[in-house]
Amino acid sequence: MFKEETSTLLYSQDQKLLGATISNDEQWRFPANDSVPKRFEICITQFEDAYFRKHPGVNPISLFRAFRQNLNSNEIVSGGSTITMQTIRLAKQNPKRTYGQKILEMIQATRLELTHSKNTILNYYVSHAPFGGNVVGLDAAAWRYYAKEAHQLSWGESATLAVLPNAPSLIFPGKNQELLLAKRNRLLKKIWSEGFLSEDDYQLALLEPLPGKPNALPDLAPHLLHTSIKSFKGKRLKSTLDSHVQEQLSQLVNQHKAELSANEIHNIAVLVVEVKSGNVKAYIGNTFDQHDNYSNQVDIVQAKRSSGSILKPFLYTAMMQDGQLLPKMLLSDTPMDITENYDKNYSGAVPADEALAKSLNIPAVHMLEKYSVPKFHHRLKELGFTTFTETPKHYGLSLVVGGGEVTLWELAAAYRNLAYKINHPTVEKFDPKIHSIQNNPSKETKYPINAESAYLTIEALQNVVRPESEIGWQVYSGKNIAWKTGTSHGFRDAWSVGMTPEYVVAVWVGNADGEGRPGIIGVKAAAPIMFDVFNRLTLTERFQKPEGNWTEVKTCRESGFLLGPNCTHYVRTSAPSMAINAEVCPYHQKIHVDESGQYRVNSDCYPVAKIQSKSWFVLPPIEGFYYQKNHPKYQTIPNYLEGCEGELNERPIEFIYPKNFTKIYLPKDFTGQIQPMVIEMAYTQPELPLFWYLDGKYIGTTQNIHKLALQPEPGTHKVVVTDSKGNSVQKTFTIVNK
């Protein structure tokens, strides 16, 4: 019957109105409800059509009385219309009043009564009647004038609204108050005299004040509401949000915004997802700004932003699942061209779980190089990410350190799936998406994660220690929170995602316009908000090791790899079943030393009977160079006894900088003078001299500290470094100054 566009309403899971949109014709017109509150039904029928439940759509007595009044006045002063006839007029958008039109309405009203119940007709009328200004329908009127649901209206409030459809212009703040009050009180007296309310209720209703200025509708989840309109325009939407949590976090976000704004950081987004159900419990799409100066209308939850290092746990999980990684397996952590660690420090070699906990970029890139970009690209899509639309080659190794974009929505879903699998180890298929609107399921797909690798990933993320953080991570470790932060290149996006068995909390901080600021750092900007959110949630459960396809393996104590033939110390480790295919320790080698144990020897230069064999933990020169700085007990491999020669395949010298075929720009100082480049070498025997050659010409000798400053002309150059034993390495680089 009614074709007018209606407002879109968003409710919480506990049936509280979170927000509403005005219709395109600028009317507050809510979608029709399924029933009319009893109090209002009594008020509206007693005022408009006391015989509504008895007549067949037309009331001859009312029509005769109206005809007589109009005849005596020589004008139309009364229509005598029943509620059914008024419903027909509303559906036809109030055509001009004529006797012909009235007869047509009578016929149509009779037909309507034959095809619809009285309750349905009354609901039609109440939902589309005018209530003054741009307010249409009882539900909208209840919110605009009394800031409550229609079923919560008192007798006085119900009576006030019941007289408005007959004269909607009466509701105007500061005007017509006496006339409106008189009409309301006459109606209350009639209802009392008819026995619908007691004397006490009647007297109390008379004391109730009239409404003042129209109220603004709730606006607790504006970004979710406007995002939902794309699929559910003009409907009553029951969301999965918890109104209490949503309201608390809205206040919390604005508190943090006040602090961050001092550093010109203006936008925050937060999602809270229930792990068990995948339902979103809080959706803060952006901060609030009265003047909308900082793109606050943008729904950051759905916006594509640079991922930073927030995807590293999924690479860790994938490699663990495929048997390519063990938690304590050493990963290379030395300088490289495409990225650097956040603190610009390097460990040489670092256990995988520590690298993940500290969010080290270099080890992550080495992991991806081993796993392969196409495989990781495919795995991210399996986890529900839809933003990686380019080919794997387009992203390259930067994919794991911010080379792609993600949304907070899909990120929260992926982390939720990681946590969910631990408590549901046998689940084969799952819904990879999270949900903010009830009864809106998506297609199930094969679960790409196994419980064992998910558990080991979360175990590593529970050991996150960030000394530069001011939030006191130790306080939260006891709450069983596994968490990961990320910061995009240029300090444009700060991420923090935390997991418990009950909830996932995902936070983004930055500027919606993409402006970078020094303070936009995951651990400093986003993590404090994440922990504040967790502090307002009830956390009682702990992650438990899931039953599954575990196997016990022996791993080398020093390297974390599977036990090799030359390893002397091992640790028994519980790992996913595929761990039996992991790599055997490559860092232990058997060496031969003299009687003193100080020098290496071989049978060509030393009596066989006096040779001793030892197992030695040996890292490549560059890894060893940095590793020794953090591990004083690390012993480099002994030198050869004078007269003994080493193996031809040994490489005791390696370049730390530059890498091969690097293009280098030499900067100028404040005086305009071009500054030199510094070439640095890693040498297993630093006390011995190294000899340097540039483009075939000898340029110097270094000892103990193997660094040399050079200032080559623009163009391509080759540097060669040799030791006194004839070992030699070379690199080609290009100076691009112009």
Q: Average pLDDT, stretch 191-200?
A: 95
What local confidence, expressed as pLDDT, does residue 72 receive?
Answer: 58
77 or 700, greater pLDDT: 700
Distance between CA atoms of residues 396 and 425, nearest Å: 32
Mean pLDDT computed over 284-304 = 91
Q: Report the candidate in 618, 612, 622 with the shortest Cα–Cα distance to residue 556.
A: 618
Report whether pLDDT(701) > 60.
yes
Candidate ranges 327-341, 566-580, 658-672; pick with highest mean pLDDT: 566-580
Residue 55 has pLDDT above 80, yes or no: yes
- Determine the pLDDT at residue 476: 46
Q: Which tokens sit at 370?
A: 């081993």
Instruction: Tell me the per-residue pLDDT of 454-505, one tens digit each, with 9 for 90 and over.
Output: 999 999 999 876 434 444 444 444 568 999 999 999 999 999 999 999 999 9
| Banded pLDDT at 445 (limits 50, 70, 90) | confident
Higher pLDDT, 336 or 219: 219
> What three-state secondary structure class fits 134?
coil
Nearest Cα neighbor of 601 from 647, 565, 634, 555 is: 647
pLDDT at residue number 724: 76
Q: How far apart are CA 73 and CA 348, in angstroms?
A: 101
- Predicted local confidence at residue 469, as pLDDT: 43
Rounded Cα–Cα distance for residues 218 and 19 (Å):
5
- Residue whose token pair is 């004391």: 207
Region 442-465 average pLDDT? 88
Instruction: Quote the CATH superfamily of domain 300-534.
Output: DD-peptidase/beta-lactamase superfamily (3.40.710.10)
Q: What whole-number distance in Å separates Cα of residue 373 and Cα of residue 417? A: 22
Domain 16-207 fold: Penicillin binding protein transpeptidase fold (1.10.3810)
% of the chain exceeding 70 in pLDDT: 94
pLDDT reading at 423 higher than 80: yes
* Chain-centroid distance, C-alpha 126: 42
Listed by start position, the domains of the chain span 16-207, 300-534, 554-581, 653-735
Query: In the CATH scheme, what is the homologous superfamily, with its name and number, of domain 653-735?
Result: Immunoglobulins (2.60.40.10)
Per-residue pLDDT for 37 more than 90?
yes
Question: Which residues are CB-neighbours of 71 under 8 A, at least 6 positions away?
Answer: none
Tell me the average pLDDT of the chain.
89
Residue type, 587: Y
User: Cβ distance 710 to 692 under 8 Å?
Assistant: no
Worst-scoring range by mean pLDDT, 165-179, 393-407, 574-588, 706-720?
A: 165-179
The CB density around residue 156, as the number of other CB atoms within 10 Å, is 21
Res. 646: pLDDT tops 70: no
Angle at 484 between CA 479 and CA 489, to 5 degrees: 155
Give the confidence band of 727 by pLDDT, cuts at 50, 70, 90.
confident
User: Contact at 8 Å (CB) between 527 and 545?
Assistant: no
For the purposes of burial, counting CB atoms within 10 Å of the CB of 709, is it exposed (0-12), middle (13-18) or buried (19 or more)?
Answer: exposed
The token pair that represents 166 in the structure block: 């007959």
pTM (2 d.p.): 0.85
pLDDT value for 280? 98
Out of 229-233, 377-381, 513-517, pick the least confident: 229-233
**Whole-number pLDDT of residue 470:** 41
Assigned token pair, 152? 């919560």
pLDDT of residue 69: 60
Q: Which of 357, 422, 413, 361 is nearest to 385 (CA)?
A: 413
Residue 139 has pLDDT above 70, yes or no: yes
Report the pLDDT value the prediction gives residue 74, as an integer from 0 to 100: 53
The answer, yes or no, to whether residue 441 has pLDDT greater than 90, is no
Residues in the chain: 738
Cβ atoms of 661 and 732 within 8 Å: the answer is yes
Rounded CA Rg of the chain: 38
